Amino acid sequence: MIDLYASTTPNVLKIEIMLEETALPYKLVPVNVWKGEQFTEDFLGLNPNAKVPVIVDHDDPEGPCTVFESAAILLYLAEKTELLLPKSGPARYVVIEWLVFQAANLGPMNGQFNHFERYAPGGNEYALSRYTTELKRQYEVMERRLAEVPWLGGDTFSIADIAAFPWVLVQSNRLKESFPFLDRDSTLHPNIGAWLRRCEERPGVQRGLQAHSTLKSGFPDASEDELDRIFGRGRYAYRDSAKR
């Protein structure tokens, strides 16, 4: 059995989809990040970076195995099952390139973009413009890639698609009215739209989405102080800077 420490975030959805695609038995362990459950000593023992997702694989032949960072978890599960990642050669590294493209670009930029679009107080036009522009550029990169091949990693569905799919889906659902380039049906990127539909047709992806829908967001119940803590602002902000 694998324990998946989870909250309502695209990074967790990746792992639910992977576990469903690979038919591994797992249990969701909800972590209310808005209430600060990621900062407990027990959780920090699993992930010193205090973020979900984390898995604990109790069936690893070498003993219980803990893995944090969604890209590392996808690699671990792909190697465990020998699925969704070519075993060797150039094809393996193409998949890893696009996996890291998500982990190093699409994920962090969406995170910053979401922060300034949704959570930050007003007066951050420069930051929002910077992250919007960078995200739009990344969509152009994906569009060019998906005009050449059906899946981000090449000819077959892989962990690279699992990594990118939740972010593209969630951003379209939430923001297509205010940021039309994020709309899955935008004429700016028909190949991203077609790829998204191909992903959604997969039964494993559908089961992952179903599992994800059972989680409840703690955001509506978070206090101002809890919001300050998760965003590192107010009394939690680091102020010892020569530029201030």
- Which residues are at the interface with ligand GSH (CB under 6 A)? 7, 9, 11, 33, 38, 50-53, 69-70, 107, 230
Identity of the residue, 51 or 145, whose beta carbon is nearer to ligand GSH in the bound complex? 51
Provide φ and ψ at 19, rounded to 5°: -65, -35
Q: Which helix (H) or strand (E) covers residue 61, if one does?
A: none
Identity of the residue, 49 or 88, whose beta carbon is nearer to ligand GSH in the bound complex? 49
**Quick one: which of 187, 162, 182, 161 has its CA closest to 171?**
182
Provide the minimum distance between the beta carbon of 26 and ligand GSH in the complex, in angstroms, as a whole number: 16
Provide the minimum distance between the beta carbon of 103 and ligand GSH in the complex, in angstroms, as a whole number: 6
**Sheet with 54-57, side-by-side order of all strands:** 26-30, 2-6, 54-57, 65-68
Other residues' Cβ atoms within 10 Å of the Cβ of residue 61: 7
Rounded to 5°, the CA angle 116-227-38 comes to 110
Classify residue 244 as exposed, middle or buried by CB count within 10 Å of its CB (0-12, 13-18, 19+). Answer: exposed
- CA–CA separation, 211 and 231 (whole Å): 27
Identity of the residue, 37 or 60, whose beta carbon is nearer to ligand GSH in the bound complex? 37
Q: How far is CA 143 from CA 8, 38, 46, 64, 192, in A?
A: 27, 35, 36, 40, 6
Identity of the residue, 10 or 193, whose beta carbon is nearer to ligand GSH in the bound complex? 10
Provide the minimum distance between the beta carbon of 76 and ligand GSH in the complex, in angstroms, as a whole number: 12
Provide the minimum distance between the beta carbon of 220 and ligand GSH in the complex, in angstroms, as a whole number: 15
Provide the minimum distance between the beta carbon of 49 and ligand GSH in the complex, in angstroms, as a whole number: 8
Identity of the residue, 10 or 154, whose beta carbon is nearer to ligand GSH in the bound complex? 10
Provide the minimum distance between the beta carbon of 188 and ligand GSH in the complex, in angstroms, as a whole number: 26
Beta strands in 61-178 (DSSP E): 65-68
Q: Take residue 83 and report the two structure tokens written for it.
A: 């699925």
Identity of the residue, 38 or 138, whose beta carbon is nearer to ligand GSH in the bound complex? 38
